[in-house]
Homo-oligomer: A and B are copies of this chain.
Amino acid sequence: MVVDTATGREVGTAVWNYEHGTEGVILSRDPNLARQHPADYVKGTEVSLRKALANARRRVREFGPEQVIGIDTTGSTPLPVDARGRPLAFQKKFSKNPDAMAWLWKDHTGVAEAEEITRLAASIRPQYLVACGGVYSSEWFFSKILHCIRTNPGVAQHAALWVEIADWIPAMLTATETPESITLGICAAGHKAMYNEEWGGYPDREFLGQLHPTLAELRERMKFKPRTVRHAVGGLTREWARRTGLQEGTPVAVGAFDAHLGAIGAGISEGALVKIIGTSTCDIAIAPDDRKLPAIPGLCGIVRGSVLPGYYGLEAGQSAVGDIFNWFVSYIRPDGKKGTHALLAAAAAKLKPGESGLLALDWNNGNRTILVDQRLTGLLVGQTLYTTPAEIYRALVEATAFGALAIIQRFEEYGVTIERVINCGGIAEKNPFVMQIYADVTGRPMMLSRSAQTCALGSAIAGAVAAGKRAGGYDDFSEAQRAMTGLKTRVFTPDPSAYAVYKELYQVYRTLHDAFGTSQWQGSLSHVMKQLIEIRNRTRSRLS
């Protein structure tokens, strides 16, 4: 996306579909495996930059590629590289080996290793878990590397380093990808590789060595001091200037994850929660880093500078939102041909809060925040002999809103006030019905980010700040955000009478949430969902 630094307007856009795998993802028999081929990143960068510039030229008469003053990219997916910084998958012997490719964020092959890391940290380095919600995820850096070391040492021993794609692309564009000179972003380092200045950076050698000697060796080469997105990694090389039509030396900013740059693009500031709502959600808030923030239990990540410099970046999320509605429509297929999202939402919108007598838990895909427990499942209660699909659809939407409120309350319990919510993503834009319920449930205004591409916009803002004011950009983010971000005019404000009913319903939700999700009292039902999963897994393993 090419963005006007004066207004944040999209000047040009382009999409290029990855050529490898199934819709860009390399799959296998193992449903946990999801990889991408790094060749797609190289060609994708070239083609999409060229096409976006061409698109901008077509749309804006006065546009020329020399006007592009800064560049940035998003992630998150780590890949193994050799001593020269080149992806292992570019070597002929590894070109078809998925373990040598990029391990996509949603690759879950390292489940056992993630549990091992969590266990070891809990026993000898509990501080490591505090900043990541108490559980180290299979989606994260060391789980993936350790899994590769354990299951494919042939690939692992050739990896001089593992680099996050949001760091690797800027390095490629600026020819700084050799392991010694590379500049890493704090976002990936802090949220996924346990980097924290409090304990001297990455996890220590002893800790990693207890997991595997190869990890300890790797740690020796990780002498980086990751930076925030306000920094430039370097300038565009002559080679990449030629390949894209951009000017040589154009600053390339430090990369960060999509949600974190999305929060910038949505205009995040203190008091705001940015919700990027899709199949799941990513919820981002910030808090000034001039005072020490208490550990907030259950958050996925608390990382100084991961969103904006000068602030802690706080990441939370719901494991499924759109996915739950999609499950109901696509798997249950209620109401014959009338069971579309549009028709169910229209019928559900006519109902009043509490009218159905239904209540659901939004855990069909587990609970990322605040329980950090993937072994939780969905629940629906209150069905009669007359319960309708529209009532269930509304109960599912309300459940995700209650889940959102639980996250907001957790923030506030630890001193991070959330006064308003800025929503991005397809569901936020296309479903006023959903947004109104979110406002009525949380008692807070729901705003919509003006851009439909907030992550790319945030990335462009980082590029503009890396370029600086003298080059036509900005010297700080607040100035850049003021100029380049905005909200849609429609704001969903809470209806007081609906809010009153939802306050009561939320208490019931919270009762079930705590009963099934925590073991804080006698007679807790926290074993129920896990027991069902255990019986299910046993039955399925007998069948296969």
Contact = CB atoms under 8 A, between A and B. Distances in A.
Interface of A: 320, 323-324, 326-327, 331-337, 339, 352-359, 364-365, 377-389, 392, 501, 504-505, 508, 511-512, 515-516, 521-525, 528-529, 531-533, 535-536, 538-540, 542-543
Nearest to A525: B515
A364 B336 contact: no
Given A331-B386, A515-B525, A522-B522, 4 more contacts: A332-B392, A365-B384, A380-B380, A508-B528
A365 B353 contact: no
A226 to B, nearest CB: 34
Contact of A358 (B320, B337, B523, B532): B532
Given A327-B385, A385-B323, A511-B525, A501 B353 contact: no
Contacts of A542: 352
Given A365-B385, A385-B324, A524-B523, A532 B333 contact: no
Across chains A and B, which 3 residue pairs bring their CB atoms closest together, nearest first? A378-B383, A357-B536, A523-B523
A382 B352 contact: no
Contacts of A536: 354-357, 382
A333 B335 contact: yes
Contact of A331 (B320, B379, B387): B387
Contact of A387 (B327, B389, B504, B508): B327
Nearest to A366: B384
Given A358-B532, A535-B354, A384 B377 contact: yes
A320 B336 CA distance: 24
Contacts of A382: 377-379, 529, 532-533, 536
Contacts of A533: 357, 382
A176 to B, nearest CB: 41
Nearest to A324: B385
A539 B55 CA distance: 54
A357 B532 contact: yes
A318 to B, nearest CB: 13
Nearest to A387: B331
A167 to B, nearest CB: 31
Contact of A521 (B352, B357, B359, B522): B522
Contacts of A357: 377, 532-533, 535-536
B332 A334 contact: yes
A80 B149 CA distance: 85
Nearest to A379: B381
A512 B336 CA distance: 32
Contacts of A516: 381
Nearest to A358: B532
A505 B377 CA distance: 16
A22 B438 CA distance: 44
A379 B385 contact: no
A440 to B, nearest CB: 13
A515 B542 CA distance: 31
Contact of A336 (B333, B355, B356): B333
Contacts of A364: 383-385, 387
Contacts of A383: 327, 364, 377-380
A513 B359 CA distance: 17
Contact of A532 (B336, B379, B381, B525): B381
Given A377-B382, A381-B378, A523-B521, A389 B354 contact: no
A406 B392 CA distance: 28
A146 B325 CA distance: 49
Contacts of A355: 536, 539-540, 543
Q: Which of A356, A523, A524 has the most CB of B within 10 A?
A: A523
A505 B195 CA distance: 44
A523 B358 CA distance: 21
A335 to B, nearest CB: 5
A131 B313 CA distance: 65
Contact of A334 (B333, B377, B515): B333
A352 B539 contact: yes
Contacts of A535: 354, 357, 501, 504-505
A323 to B, nearest CB: 5
Nearest to A521: B523
A533 B380 CA distance: 14
A188 B211 CA distance: 74
Nearest to A365: B385
Contacts of A358: 532
A511 to B, nearest CB: 6
B543 A528 contact: no
A508 B531 contact: yes
Q: Which of A377, A383, A392, A538 has the most CB of B within 10 A?
A: A383
A327 B540 CA distance: 29
Given A334-B334, A523-B515, A543-B355, A387 B378 contact: yes
